[in-house]
Amino acid sequence: MSLTDLLCPSDIAAALRDCQAPDSFSPKKFFQISGMSKKSSSQLKEIFRILDNDQSGFIEEDELKYFLQRFEGGARVLTTSETKTFLAAADHDGDGKIGAEEFQELVQA
């Protein structure tokens, strides 16, 4: 399964266009534009699984840097500031990584 099986390709493209400039990425806005915020819990778990590049059950800081590239290979890498802000917004237990439930909470908030 791929992200385009769960999200509309034109919505993904619009979300990526919205954050093309460095330091313009907002997780909440990205989730809304891409349509992720309208997905069910089970769909979000599948999206998380796809985004968890190393299949560790967590999205770590080094994976977050390449978050946009999981949607489109040519997308930009998140800046250090964006990565840290994204991690801080989702990492409720302070373990330095985002679990599936934390991801779901952030997307649906």
Which stretch of DSSP H or E encloses residue 88?
helix 80-90
Query: Is 84 annotated for ligand binding?
Result: no
Query: Is 63 annotated for ligand binding?
Result: yes
Query: Is 26 annotated for ligand binding?
Result: no
**Residues in Cβ contact with 71 at an 8 Å cutoff, skipping those fewer than 6 apart:** 3, 12, 15, 16, 34
Query: Is 102 annotated for ligand binding?
Result: yes
Query: Is 52 annotated for ligand binding?
Result: yes
Question: For residue 89, which of 100, 101, 102 has the smallest C-alpha distance?
Answer: 102
Query: Is 62 annotated for ligand binding?
Result: no
Query: Is 93 annotated for ligand binding?
Result: yes
Query: Is 101 annotated for ligand binding?
Result: no
Q: Detail the residues annotated as belonging to a binding site for Ca(2+).
A: 52, 54, 56, 58, 63, 91, 93, 95, 97, 102
